[in-house]
């Protein structure tokens, strides 16, 4: 009798992790990569994990972490660029996945933090709570290298590959319903100035 | 008579391309508009530009904002109804973060347009620009096009403020109702 193949990792069997814990794991491995934190919790935990000059904290334009990251990636093809985006935000600008697939930026990595809710506005369920699978959607858009991370160890392995091999990549993680660990200092012009200096651009 | 028809020199889209080049604006993102067709074709045909379509105007603004911060200057092309989707994104990204995103809007819904939806939404554009205190110019004449674009792009970069160029049908010819 043949051994049963292990079922593929999907949103139903991926371990539920924690955004801040994952963000800290990610940031600990970074060198000069640019990171764009999406609205609310996605950038709060990026800030809480320890500010780095290559971080951009997006404050009000829900859904634009991936487009901003794409712009940075096109402008600086030698630098890896990571977008951290929530499930609600990605659903709002889901067409951006098709644009990214069309352009195929080798240096772009999207990390989707799926808590199946709009946590910051009161925890209302998003469509992923009803079964929408953002990895399937990303593959359908044409980002072939899209997958769920089963656990923290697999997340580390996937990130290590995404930071060294040609993208675009989309890594999705299931996370719990905890809010972000604190809040980013909200001073947009200073955020812009620090980010530009951090990625070597004279403002 | 629209200025386009009385004009013997380069076409409006040729002036736009040359002025973008003169100011190192290489990235062009857009959601298509029929009147902008010659400009869209021209930037695709010229390898100087990185030009591509996006699924929404908001997305296009995000891409150009990211690129500008990372050292690549860009402009977003759209029509009036596309502009009408942008108030939140303009307020919270290029205006708040002081990123000189450039917008070029083909003005639809005015001067003989036949589409009632376009005509209604066109009324929202200038109030939004004015309430955000965004620099904006309506360009109606060939002899002003290069000057306005060139000076305003330089000013946008120097003052770290977004700017919007509205291309009037008096410049482009627009689209007319054939009765
Ligand atoms: C265009 C727009 N609509 C609504 C909001 C309000 N809003 C801010 S954050 C947010 C939820 C974001 O959800 P998600 O990306 O899943 O992140 P989470 O809060 O779950 O971490 C909403 C609805 C907004 N800022 N902008």
Statement: residue A2 has pLDDT above 70: no
Statement: residue B110 has pLDDT above 80: yes
**Which residues sit opposite A170 in a β-bridge?**
A110, A146
Statement: residue A7 has pLDDT above 90: no
| Dihedral (CA of A15, A20, A24, A30) sign | positive
Q: Which residue of B has its CA nearest to A35?
A: B66
The minimum-distance atom of ligand 1 relative to the CA of A90 is 15
Domains (range + CATH), chain A: 16-198 (3.40.50.970)
Which tens digits make up the pLDDT trace of A64-93? Answer: 999 999 999 999 999 999 999 999 999 999
Residues of chain B with Cβ-Cβ distance to A102 below 8 Å are 52
Which tens digits make up the pLDDT trace of B111-141? Answer: 888 888 888 999 999 999 999 999 999 999 9
Write down the pLDDT at residue A11: 95
Mean pLDDT of B92-104: 98
Residue spans of beta strands (DSSP E) within chain B: 25-30, 50-53, 73-79, 102-106, 135-139, 163-167
Statement: residue A162 has pLDDT above 70: yes
Write down the pLDDT at residue B114: 82
The more confidently predicted of residues A4 and A164 is A164
Question: B115: how many CB neighbours lie within 10 A of its CB?
Answer: 14
How far is B144 from A106, CA to CA, in rounded Å? 41
How far is B167 from B108, CA to CA, in rounded Å? 9
Q: Which residue of B has its CA nearest to A54?
A: B70
Which tens digits make up the pLDDT trace of A32-52? Answer: 999 999 999 999 999 999 999
Determine if ligand 1 sits within 6 Å of the CB of residue A122. Answer: no
Determine if ligand 1 sits within 6 Å of the CB of residue A120. Answer: yes
Write down the pLDDT at residue A123: 98
Residue B139, helix vs strand vs coil = strand
How far is A184 from B59, CA to CA, in rounded Å? 23
- CB contact (8 A) between residue A74 and residue B69: no
Mean pLDDT of B59-86: 98
Mean pLDDT of B90-98: 98
| Tokens at A86, concatenated | 């929530």
Is the separation of the CB atoms in B153 and B18 below 8 Å? no
CB of A197 less than 8 A from some CB of B:
no
How far is B113 from A102, CA to CA, in rounded Å? 34
How far is B140 from A84, CA to CA, in rounded Å? 43
Statement: residue B30 has pLDDT above 60: yes
Statement: residue A1 has pLDDT above 50: no
Q: Which of A72, A74, A196 sits opposite B50 (nearest CB)?
A: A74
How far is B139 from A107, CA to CA, in rounded Å? 39
> In chain B, what percentage of residues exceed pLDDT 90?
84
Reported confidence tier of residue A200, pLDDT bands at 50, 70, 90: very high
How far is the alpha carbon of A175 from chain B, nearest alpha carbon, in Å?
26
What is the greatest pairwise CA distance in chain A?
66
Statement: residue B27 has pLDDT above 70: yes
How far is the alpha carbon of A36 from chain B, nearest alpha carbon, in Å?
9
The minimum-distance atom of ligand 1 relative to the CA of A120 is 19
How far is B158 from A110, CA to CA, in rounded Å? 32
Statement: residue B145 has pLDDT above 90: yes
Range with lowest mean pLDDT among A26-40, A148-162, B102-116? B102-116
| Tokens at A195, concatenated | 């980010």
> In chain B, what percentage of residues exceed pLDDT 70?
94
CATH architecture of B3-172: 3-Layer(aba) Sandwich (3.40)
Beta-carbon contacts of residue B29 (< 8 Å; ≥ 6 apart): B51, B52, B53, B54, B59, B60, B63, B64, B74, B75, B76, B77
Q: State pTM to two decimals.
A: 0.96
Cα of A72 vs centre of ligand 1, distance in Å, is 23
Write down the pLDDT at residue A3: 59
Output the DSSP codes for A6-30: PPPP-TTTSPEE-HHHHHHHHHHT-
Average pLDDT for chain B: 94
CB of B47 less than 8 A from some CB of A:
no
Is the separation of the CB atoms in A69 and A100 below 8 Å? no
Mean pLDDT of A145-169: 98
Determine if ligand 1 sits within 6 Å of the CB of residue A89. Answer: yes
CB of A36 less than 8 A from some CB of B:
yes
> Judging by beta carbons within 10 Å of its beta carbon (0-12, 13-18, 19+), is residue B72 exposed, middle or buried?
buried
CB of B65 less than 8 A from some CB of A:
yes
* Cα-based distances in Å from A3 to A7, A10, A14: 12, 20, 21
Q: φ and ψ at A21, to 5 degrees?
A: -60, -45
Mean pLDDT of A123-127: 98
Is the separation of the CB atoms in B2 and B170 below 8 Å? yes
The alpha-helical segments, DSSP class H, found in A29-178 are: 41-48, 65-75, 87-92, 95-103, 134-141, 152-162
ipTM (interface pTM)? 0.96
**Taking the domains of chain B in order of start, what are their residue ranges?**
3-172
Determine if ligand 1 sits within 6 Å of the CB of residue A112. Answer: no
């Amino acid at each position: 009798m043949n051994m049963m193949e292990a079922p593929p990792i999907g949103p139903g069997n991926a371990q539920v992790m924690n955004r801040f814990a994952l963000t800290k794991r990610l940031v600990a491995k970074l060198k000069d990569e640019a990171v764009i934190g999406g609205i609310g919790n996605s950038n709060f935990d990026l800030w809480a994990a320890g500010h780095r000059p290559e971080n951009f904290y997006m404050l009000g334009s829900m859904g634009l972490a991936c487009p901003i990251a794409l712009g940075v990636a096109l402008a600086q093809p030698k630098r890896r660029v990571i977008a951290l985006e929530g499930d609600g935000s990605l659903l709002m600008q889901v067409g951006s996945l098709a644009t990214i697939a069309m352009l195929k930026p080798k240096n772009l990595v999207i990390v989707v933090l799926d808590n199946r809710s709009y946590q910051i506005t009161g925890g209302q369920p998003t469509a992923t709570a009803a079964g929408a699978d953002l990895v399937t959607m990303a593959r359908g858009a044409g980002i072939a290298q899209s997958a769920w991370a089963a656990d923290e160890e697999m997340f580390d392995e996937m990130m290590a590959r995404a930071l060294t091999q040609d993208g675009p990549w989309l890594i999705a993680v299931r996370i719990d319903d905890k809010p972000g660990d604190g809040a980013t200092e909200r001073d947009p012009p200073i955020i812009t100035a620090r980010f530009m200096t951090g990625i070597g651009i004279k403002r | 008579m629209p200025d386009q028809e009385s004009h013997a020199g380069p076409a409006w889209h040729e002036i736009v391309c040359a002025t973008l080049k003169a100011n190192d604006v290489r990235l062009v993102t857009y959601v298509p508009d029929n009147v902008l067709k010659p400009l869209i074709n021209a930037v695709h045909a010229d390898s100087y530009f990185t030009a591509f379509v996006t699924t929404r105007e908001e997305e296009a603004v995000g891409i150009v904002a990211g690129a500008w911060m990372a050292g690549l200057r860009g402009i977003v092309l759209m029509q009036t109804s596309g502009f009408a989707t942008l108030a939140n994104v303009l307020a919270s990204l290029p205006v708040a973060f002081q990123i000189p995103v450039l917008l070029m809007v083909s003005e639809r819904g005015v001067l003989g347009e036949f589409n009632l939806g376009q005509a209604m939404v066109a009324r929202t554009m200038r109030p939004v620009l004015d309430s955000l205190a965004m620099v904006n110019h309506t360009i109606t004449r060939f002899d002003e096009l290069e000057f306005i674009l060139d000076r305003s792009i330089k000013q946008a970069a120097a003052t770290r403020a977004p700017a919007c160029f509205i291309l009037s049908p008096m410049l482009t010819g627009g689209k007319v109702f054939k009765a």
